[in-house]
Structure 1
Amino acid sequence: MRRFERLAENLPGAGTARTAKRSLAFSAAITALAIGLAPTSARDSSKAAERCAALLGISRDGVLIERAELVPPGPTPALPGAKPRDLPEHCLVRGVIDRRTGVGEREFGIGFELRLPTGWNGRFMFQGGGGLDGQVMPAVGNLANSPGLPALARGFAVASTDSGHSGPIVDASFGVDQQARIDYAYNALDKVTNESKRILAEFYGKPAHRSYFVGCSNGGRQALMASQRLPLEFDGVVAGDPAMGFSRLALGEVWNMQVVARISPKDDAGRPIYSRAFTDDDLQLVRKAVLARCDGLDGLADGFINDWKSCGFHPRELTCRSGQSEGCLSEAKVSVLNDLFQGPMTTTGRHIYGPYTYDTGIASSAWRGMKLGTSATGEPNSADSTLGLGQFRYLQLTPADPDWDPLQPYTVEDLLERIRYQGGIGDADNPLLSTFARKGKMIVYNGMADQGMSTPEIVRWYQAMIAATGEPGREAVRFFGVPGMLHCGGGEATDRFEMLDAIVDWVEKGRPPDQIVATSSSMPGISRPLCPWPKVARYSGGDTNSAASFTCEE
């Protein structure tokens, strides 16, 4: 009993008489209910429901618990594109941290959700977000590429956050507010991690014995940010397709618009029609040429470009010869394609973000959707011109500039100067992990055909991390490229793999992932090993459909 009294006495703000009284009452409620954590009867479920409801009594400065109720076993909340799964009985907690009124009288606050299974395995997982966040997604522990159960169904307690603002995941207008920028960059992760761990300990009567962070896309950026700004909080981190150099990635997206505009036909008002810069036949031509050049470098021509480091494809190979009009690309198209895959560079030839690897994904609707869109008018709908441009204007430029024109003349050096302030707090590319690497482990992965994230960019960070952190960094972090995979899944790829099990085994059993077997969501019966950089999967003989026929080699 004394353990729970000490817990209440140590709550922030417990020095005031009113707060101390409420804290002791909360302590008494928890003490009376802290009997058994895995209900097997109606009586046990009733006690769990009371323990859960008691969390509404939490009284801490800046923390408001809006909901705390026991949820019976049932299906996962409806999420676009997510397969319904059965979830166990759990305590659902929703709250807000540091609610305030900000710029433009807009209401802000760090929204969060925490789900605490009554059959707890002793682990905590932070579920990364996506896009520009703005929504508290159900904290069920959905895993971007896993064919298995969500983390909550495996017994993990799971937290999620909206990163400090409300709105659609493509809306960057919150970026006019200084604190909202900070919350989105990293502060919400810190606050929600801290509060979730405290609530968890209050509900179960003890802390989690292991903590994990798993995310993809912006969730991958957050995962890296957790290792860099919260190096003592997480034992294991999985960062998928991470938007790590976020400010420079955004610069690349708006730079793409100017590049593609060079060959786009114009509407009557002189606006570029981006979708018509390349035809589908053009992109298929490139896909086939890339496969012909690079597919067999791993010992088997099977549609997977495993040995991407040796792939020397250049689009100039497809330049039309004199009199040729089909089965080739014009010099202008070759130039634009090369620039898109190189990414923006300084006048001294240094990559700002990029380059990208040539892979089969260039012929996908995802690549078209990112760079070109489908609009047949001068009103663009590509991701670069909507999400990319919006977040560049509102979130990356300092100060925000809602009217900034991506087609105006500029130098990338000037843009680098204007984005460096937000980049300093929001880019998750710090290579120094000397504290994290003492006890933490991290898996980073990226789709080789990702239409937005650059694999060579991630490899440069990885090499810089080893240089800055030393051998502990090499022992603590592994990077896996996924041939053919688009952003966080899809493509002509083995895009289904189990990273949560891999990181748990590494952290808790000391088994580093020398390879991770992956299957395909689009090609039944196919499996391949994913190999830690700098190794790649090479065919060693046998069943061409089986991962067992490949070995990881440099």
Structure 2
Amino acid sequence: MQNLSKTLAIVLACAVNTNALSSISQTHGPHACHGVSSSLQAPNTTVVLTEVHHQNGTSFPLVDQVSSCGGPNELANITANLCRLVVNVTTSRSSSVQVEAWLPDDWNERFLATGGGGIGGCIDYPTIQNGASLGFASFGTNGGHNGSEGSDFFLNQPEVLKDFGYRAIHVEAGVGKEIVRAYYGRAPKHNYYAGCSTGGRQAFQSALLYPEDFDGVLAGSPGVDWLRIVSSKGILARRIGWPNIHSTSYVREEQWKAIVEAQINILDPLDGVKDGIIDDPTMYRFDPEILACGAGVLNGSVCLQPAQIDSVRSAYEPIADSTGKIVYPPFELGANTDVFSKNINTTTGKPELSYTILEDYFRGAVYNSTAWTPSNFTTKDMDFATDINPGQVNTGGTDLSAFRAKGGKLIAYHGRNDESVTSALSAWHFSGVQASLNASLSEMHEFYRLFYIPGMHHCSGGPGAWNIGQTWPLAEGTRDSRHNLLLALVEWVEEGRKPDSVIGTKFKNDYVADGVESQRTHCVYPRKSVWDGKGDTSRASSWMCT
């Protein structure tokens, strides 16, 4: 812990002593796995754990995991014969990043890093498990702190905020590649990253700030304007009358369920297929006047009074900053509104947002005060957060020219039924990158492709054919590049085959063992998936890209 580096570059240079690592046996396996622990003498890096697992299909408890990440009774599933290695890398005098490696015996010579979700702090075990099962040397990180709830780990911790904001994935990439080189005796041939939500933000952050870290980046539901995404939940809650839950303008939680159901019933058939899915909610505007009491659409217990109509209308307007500039897209029709409408503590009956990230992050990182509450949240709070940008958490721009120039490939995907990160944000960001590069659409598609998934919730789930290989367990039908975006990215990077579409799968009850319910072809943006008008809508072949 002495002679700590003053910059990240020095930290990474010192994080792993290459000479010490090179002394480890180049024949990977149990001996080499435990040999890392005994041989690694690198400054600022501590081996916390080494384990050998040769019981594919079994599981083990994550005994040191905090409760907000699942707790010590949470199980990790062994998906290959592998070496599990956990290291701690000091990034400053007051911060460190935990990195976990799953190193399969049957290695495909590829490196896969993963990110986090929400306010981070939890290893992305599902993606690591999938990666190891496919032969990737798979890595995860806690983002610089343990846990995804609370504000304590951010309070008075500017270096921890930097780890969460931009540094942890870069540390994971640098240290992880050195571990691969030590364990297998050679460097990986290709380097990949996959993450969703906060992990999607980290994907773009890496491509922007550290373009040499990865050859291919997969960004799901990317939270590229993270501070405004979080702020939007407080702004929308205030628009619908919260915390004045007894006012005439307040719209109750049970009313919102009826409102969203009405939106789907009205707008779903307009794409030609009645399947409970609004394929592209950005195409429509919705006047809540039709839900007024007496209009006959909603029953008397959930219909809207005049002041409530105004509240609902404002909830679907875009968000502007204090100067009046629109900075965040409207909440999308048909999406679950719980992130701002589920705002009463069911035990006490008092106003309380169920979306805890707003309070946790603004307390710990923005205002540095445990007394702060979001009950009076306004656009001024959002603007203050974006102005100070704690730990550089907001993606630092749209100029991906360096990543493009080095030959990097980026695939983003976003569910059109995303309740947390408004899906239109991905189109906004795509256009922002295009403008920064002054690139044509065909030039953008040479390195950056966006796929929209109708009917998918945030990162996964929903009524649509949402499974594109991003969740565990990885079904047999999603282990090829036509059905799995990570493998499509690998094929693009290594073989130059550009993905024009991907087949999404909907499993019965969202449970792989129950079998396939339907499939659909999803298209590279701005093309859209459209029913051919004659085929079975549960078959991917019946959907065209137009």
Normalised TM-score (structure 1): 0.81
* Mapping 1:206-285, distance limit 5 Å: 206-262=186-242, 265-266=245-246, 277-280=251-254, 282-285=255-258
Match of 2:325 in 1: 350
CA distance in structure 2 between the partners assigned to 1:26 and 1:180 by the alignment: 28
Q: CA deviation at 1:158?
A: 0.8
Asked if 1:552 is matched to 2:545, the reply is: yes
Instruction: Extract unaligned runs of 5+ from structure 2.
Output: 1-11, 63-69, 469-483, 511-515
SS, match of residue 352 in structure 1 = strand
1:298 to 271, 274, 287: 271
Q: 8 Å contact 1:373–1:383 — kept in the other structure?
A: yes
- Residue 462 (structure 2) aligns with: 491
RMSD: 3.2
Instruction: Supply the AA of the counterpart residue of 1:494.
Output: A
State the Cα distance separating 1:336 from its structure 2 match: 2.2
Instruction: State the 1:500 CA deviation.
Output: 1.3
Q: Does 1:394 align with 2:364?
A: yes
Larger radius of gyration: 1
**Partners of 2:526 and 2:127 in 1: CA distance:** 34
Q: Compared with structure 1, are the counterparts of its residues 111 and 54 closer, same or farther at alpha carbon in structure 2 (3 Å cutoff)?
A: same
- Alpha-carbon displacement from aligned partner over 1:241-275 (angstroms, at most 9, x marks no partner): 12221111222122233233358534xxxxx999x
Residues 410-429 of structure 1: matches in 2 within 5 Å? 412-413=379-380, 415-422=382-389, 425-428=392-395
Work out the CA distance in 1 between the residues paired with 2:503 and 2:20: 51
The question of 1:88 aligning with 2:80 is answered yes
Equivalent position of 2:153 in the other structure: 174
Q: Is 1:184 equivalent to 2:164 in the alignment?
A: yes
Task: State the secondary structure of the residue aligned to 2:237.
Answer: helix
Residue 114 (structure 2) aligns with: 127
Secondary structure of 1:171's partner? Answer: coil
Tell me which residue corresponds to 2:303. Answer: 328
Kindly indicate whether the alpha-carbon contact (under 8 Å) linking 1:448 and 1:482 is maintained by their aligned counterparts in 2.
yes
> 1:195, CA displacement in angstroms?
0.8
| Distance verdict in 2 for CA 1:135–1:545, change over 3 Å | closer
Deviation at 1:314, TM superposition (A): 3.1
Q: Percent identity?
A: 25
Residues 128 and 218 in structure 1, CA contact (< 8 A), matched pair in contact too: yes
CA contact 1:132–1:172 (8 Å) conserved in 2? no
1:203 deviates by 1.4
Deviations 1:80-113 (A, max 9, x none): 69997542221221111117664xxxxx421111
What residue in structure 2 maps to residue 502 of structure 1? 488
Q: 1:249 to 1:25 in 2, by over 3 A?
A: closer
Supply the distance in 2 between the matched residues of 1:77 and 1:380 (Cα, whole angstroms): 40
Q: Tell me how far 1:373 sits from its aligned partner.
A: 4.5
What is the match of residue 476 of structure 1?
A: 447
Which of 36, 42, 47 matches 1:65? 47
- Residue 308 of structure 1, CA deviation: 3.1
* 2:6 aligned residue: none
CA-to-aligned-CA distance 1:338-375 (integer Å, 9 cap, x gap): 3333353235543332212212x43xxxx436531563
Tell me by how many angstroms 1:140 deviates. 6.0
**Distance in 2 (alpha carbons) for counterparts of 1:64 and 1:262:** 48
Counterparts of 1:8-27 in structure 2 under 5 Å?
27=22
Q: Closer, same or farther in 2 for the Cα pair 1:197/1:456, shift >3 Å?
A: same
Unaligned runs of at least 5 residues, structure 1: 1-10, 38-47, 103-107, 143-149, 267-271
**Residue-by-residue CA offset, 1:464-510 (whole Å, 9 max, x unaligned):** 11111224433211222222222122222222112211211221222
Count of residues paired in the alignment:
494
Structure 2 vs 1, CA of residues 234 and 119 (structure 1 numbering), >3 Å: closer, same or farther?
A: same
Deviation at 1:528, TM superposition (A): 1.3
Q: Do the aligned partners of 2:114 and 2:139 also contact (CA within 8 Å) in 1?
A: yes
In structure 2, distance between residues paired with 1:23 and 1:311: 57
**Which piece of structure 1 moves more, 297-306 or 475-484?**
297-306
Tell me the distance in 1 between the aligned counterparts of 2:242 and 2:497.
51
CA deviations on 1:3-60 (whole Å, 9 max, x unpaired) are xxxxxxxx9569xxxx9xx976654x43xx324x5xxxxxxxxxx2222222121222
Higher mean Cα deviation, 538-547 or 337-346? 337-346
Which residue identity is paired with 1:112?
V
Amino acid at match of 2:98: G
Is contact 1:247–1:420 with CA below 8 Å preserved after alignment?
no
- Report whether the alignment pairs 1:340 with 2:315: yes
- When residues 351 and 424 of structure 1 are mapped into structure 2, their CA distance, relative to the original with a 3 A threshold, is farther
Separation in 1 of the partners of 2:222 and 2:351? 26
Question: Does the 8 Å contact 2:233/2:339 carry over to 1?
Answer: no
